[in-house]
Chain A
Amino acid sequence: MMDENKKVIIVPCSGIGKPYGSVSREAAYEVTEDLRPGQTQLVPLALLVLGDEESRAVVEACPAVTIDGCKLGCAAKMVQQSGGTIAQEFAVLDVYRRYKDLKPQGIAELNEGGQKLARVLAEEVTAVVDGLMTREQGGENA
């Protein structure tokens, strides 16, 4: 069995006040709280920026999936700077390009399109998480 302490770390964008940042966080919440609560852990980007030791230790120990709201890619950059390994980078914009009818709007409260886009993104992240868990288990059973 996989080390039960080993989880996939989800690091979303911290862009407050921007719909795409909100979509990234909403997707991260869905994965870590609803879809794969036992296998994932959300690490807030702000804690990595502040150099929080506990967060850095978790990121160094576990594979990370980053979800960035824009092409600045702050989540991915901070995971790398914190010594982490990125298993997969997501960008909200890339997913939106595939689902043009789900235009995210609103900030404190995402519109229906934004919520649906977050759901789609969460499912894609979940698929990556499942793949990582399967590989881990396969590796340990080999």
Chain B
Amino acid sequence: MSDFLETTVDKFTFKVATDRFYNPEGVWAKEENGRVRIGLSDFVQQRSGDVAFAEIKPVGTVLAAGDEVAVIETIKVNITYTSPIKGKIVEVNPAMNDAPEAINQDPYGAGWMAIMEVTNWDVQRAKLLDPQAYFKIMKGQAEEEAKKL
């Protein structure tokens, strides 16, 4: 069970899970028994809107950190997200085909996007944002978004 950092901006509440790491655009990475699960943060999914389709790079794709890993089409926009880490995709969440709304419903759980095989997780992790650092960035982004409303 994850713990969360939480903030409310305008009428929206955003959570940041504290058991994983993030890149600045809000893609999280969580190490699990030598592999790393990735997905989108709560703020990213709320800002993007209801997900219509999620296209994740297929199993076997080798990515560097910063390479395109997913294209998400929502009712508002099409957005490309980049991999937070270097590694090979070994599993794609079947829900991304069948029920991509899982990203909206449970971004830190059932809405995960892929599992990657990585080397040097400790080195890669050091280049990511810890939950507190991402929380600060996310809060700033949320406040900027709120000014546009």
Q: Which residues of A contact B (CB under 8 A)?
A: 18-20, 69-71, 93, 96-97, 100
Contact = CB atoms under 8 A, between A and B. Distances in A.
Of B49, B50, B101, most buried by chain A (CB within 10 Å of CB) is B50
Contacts of B101: 71
B53 A71 contact: no
Contacts of A96: 52
Interface residues of B, number: 7
B53 A97 contact: yes
Given A18-B75, A20-B75, A70-B75, A97 B50 contact: no
B104 interface: yes
B104 A93 contact: no
Contacts, number: 17
A69 B104 CA distance: 16
Interface string B35-54: 00000000000000110110
| Secondary structure class of chain B's binding surface, majority of residues | loop
A62 B101 CA distance: 32
Of B49, B75, B104, most buried by chain A (CB within 10 Å of CB) is B75
15 contacts: A18-B75, A19-B75, A20-B75, A69-B75, A70-B49, A70-B50, A70-B75, A71-B50, A71-B101, A71-B104, A93-B50, A93-B52, A93-B75, A96-B52, A97-B52
Interface string B69-81: 0000001000000
A71 B49 CA distance: 9
Contacts of B75: 18-20, 69-70, 93
